[in-house]
Structure 1
Amino acid sequence: MSLNIVLVEPEIPHNTGSIARTCALTNTNLHLVKPLGFCVDDKYLKRAGLDYWHLVNINYYNSLEEVVLKHPDNDFYFATTKTENSYTDFKYRDESFFVFGKETKGLSKEILEKYWETTIKIPMVDIKRSLNLSNSANIILFEALRQLNFSSLK
């Protein structure tokens, strides 16, 4: 079993580092869509991921479409605060992809419109702000893992 997290143009290195650490500990693949807002040898990125980097399967892409085209048989879910679909409304499958946008803007309007049927959100108080990217990724990932009975995890 292996789930997938996609970060589209992430900006903050310690968020990506924290997500990488979660990926390492859950056997989740990490997909990074360029441009990145940091260098992959950034000290804050490395520090947040601690010594888990060798355990993470990281893939780099030039566009989200490249990710989708490379994995045409997989389910993709797009995290946003702009939908009514709760992340708990869907039944996730092995190999599902969870797509997150950049910290300051989220996913583009064009991406959300194209994939509107599989947009998901984490319910929260409406104050025009949202949870930290790494927290959001963890919440959604662990719901998918729960639905899959935490297969291959102790």
Structure 2
Amino acid sequence: MLNIVLHEPEMPANTGNIGRTCVAIGARLHLIEPLGFIINDKTLKRAGLDYWDKLDVTVYRDYQDFLDKNPNAKIYMATTKAHKTYTQVKYEEDAYIMFGKESAGIPEEILVDNEDTCVRIPMFGDIRSLNLSNSVAIVAYEAMRQQGFTDLSLEGELHRLHWKE
């Protein structure tokens, strides 16, 4: 099962959207405090719609608490400071993909210790970053694609209506 990790997320709407994405792909969500909102924030629940109760979510006191409780985690760090793109790595089934807070990303001291697992989303020119929930969706779906979209519905169905008799 894929793991999405948010390091000190600030905006409840982004976290709600990310929670909804996690439910859609069967991923776990890990939230590292401090959070910029309370976990029962109405905006968080609104963005997650009726999916929040289906979400596998764990909250940690800080980054060290996260590491202590996930000692064998292979963690990819999504950052604009990475040397390779998110498509240049092979994500394990139980990979952890970490994203930083909206205003500052993942702290530099964490990135320096994990430089070989840092990945970036290519962007044009001097664009600083993408929206956090969009970034999570891009990288998470690449990980799922690499795994053959295991357990995801691959086909939809049109409901053909007969408008003319």
Whether these two folds match at TM > 0.5 is yes
Q: Aligned partners of 1:150, 1:64: CA distance in 2, in Å?
A: 29
Give the equivalent residue in structure 2 for 1:55.
Answer: 54
> Any gaps of 5 or more consecutive residues in structure 1?
none
Q: What are the Cα deviations for residues 25-63 of structure 1, in whole angstroms up to 9, with x where unaligned?
A: 111000000000001111111100000011100000012
Structure holding more helix per residue: 1
**Structure 1: distance between partners of 2:67 and 2:89:** 19
The percentage of counterpart residues that share the same residue type is: 48
Cα separation, 2, equivalents of 1:40 and 1:88:
32
CA distance in 2, matches of 1:77, 1:64: 14
Q: Which residue of 1 is the match for residue 82 of structure 2?
A: 83
Equivalent position amino acid for 1:120 in 2: V
Give the aligned partner of residue 98 of structure 1. 97
Tell which deviates more after alignment, 67-76 or 126-135: 67-76
Partner of residue 26, structure 1:
25
Aligned residues: 153
Task: Please identify runs of 4+ aligned residues in structure 1 that moved more than 3 A.
Answer: none
SS in structure 2 at match of 1:89? coil
Matching of residues 99-118 of structure 1 within 5 Å: 99-118=98-117
Root mean square deviation, CA, Å: 1.0
Alpha-carbon deviation of 1:128? 4.4
Paired AA for residue 84 in structure 2 = N
Deviates more, 1:33-42 or 1:121-130: 121-130
In 2, the alpha carbon distance for the partners of 1:55 and 1:153 equals 16
Structure 2 segments unaligned to the other structure (5+ residues): 154-165
Paired with 2:111 and 2:73, the residues of 1 have a C-alpha distance of: 18
Q: If you compute each CA radius of gyration, which structure gives the higher value, 1 or 2?
A: 2
Q: Deviations over 1:69-114 (max 9, x none)?
A: 3223231100100112100110111110000000000011100001
